Amino acid sequence: MKPTYMVFQAGERLHLGAEAEVWSGTWLGRPAVRKQRRTRAWRHPDLDHRLGHRRMMSEARLMVRMHRAGIAVPALYDLDPSAGIMVMQLMPGRPLIEVLRDDGLPASFKQTALKSTGAAIRNVHRLAITHGDLSTNNVLINEDGHATLIDFGLAAVDYEVERFGIDLHVVDEILGASHPDIDGAIEALLAGYTDEEERQGPPMEQTGGAVPTASEVLQRLENVRTRVRYHG
C-alpha cells in the first residue's frame, strides 16, 4: 500500500529554499501544501537525516498543539519524517509582504492586516511557542484582513521572555527594512498583540511554567532594540 502522501497531486511550486521545497496541490481531494525537506550536501548524511527528522517531528507536534488549541494554523494531513515529507492544509490568503506592497489596497486594510498579525503572534506566544522566523512571507492575510501564521520549521516551546522579544524584533526589523513606506506598521502590529491579551486576559500557565505576559514581551523588545542600536 502506498503512503497516503503519495496521493498528493502537485499544482504550483510555492517556494524553493535551502531547507525545503513547498508545493500547493490537492491531497485526497482537499486543497493542500506539501513540504519536502531538502538534503544539505555539506552535512554528513546521517547527521542531516537525524536533524531533518527531529525538526519535522517538532514542527508537526507544535502544529497539532496549536490546532487543538483553536489557533488558525494549517491542519496537518500527513507526515513521513523519514522521507522528509509533510502534507498540510492550504490556508487561504496572500502573504503579508504582497498585501503591504499592493498599492491598490487601502491603508485601512493594511492596518487591519497588521493588527491581526499581532493578534495571531500573541495567540501563538500564549501557548509558550515562539515562531522563530516571523517574516512577512510567513503570514497569510485573507480577504477579510485576518492573519494566519505559517512555516513553523524553526518554532520551539520556550518560557524565556528573551525568545519572545526576539520574535517581535525580527518582524520589527523586517517591517522597517522592507516596508518603510507603511506608516505606523510596527505600532499597528504591536497594538494587535496587546489588544489580544486584553481581550483574553493573562495567559494560562503551561506545563513548563509561566508564559511571559504581553507587557513583559514588549519591554524585552525595547531592551533588544536598545542592545542592537548600541552594538550597531
pTM of the model: 0.92
Mean pLDDT by 10 residues, the chain (232 residues): 71 87 94 89 73 88 96 94 93 96 97 98 98 96 97 95 97 95 96 98 92 97 85 56
- The DSSP bridge partners found for residue 35 are 22, 86
Q: Which pLDDT does position 43 carry in this prediction?
A: 74
The CATH code of the domain at 94-231 is: 1.10.510.10
Residues 6+ apart with CB under 8 A from 3: 78, 80, 83
* Same topology between domain 4-89 and domain 94-231: no
Active site residues: 133
CATH architecture of 4-89: 2-Layer Sandwich (3.30)
Q: Which residue from 109, 230, 229, 120 is spatially nearest to 171, judged by alpha carbons?
A: 120
* Strand residues in 38-95 grouped as ranges (E): 76-80, 85-89, 94-95
Domain spans in the chain, listed from the N-terminal domain onward: 4-89, 94-231
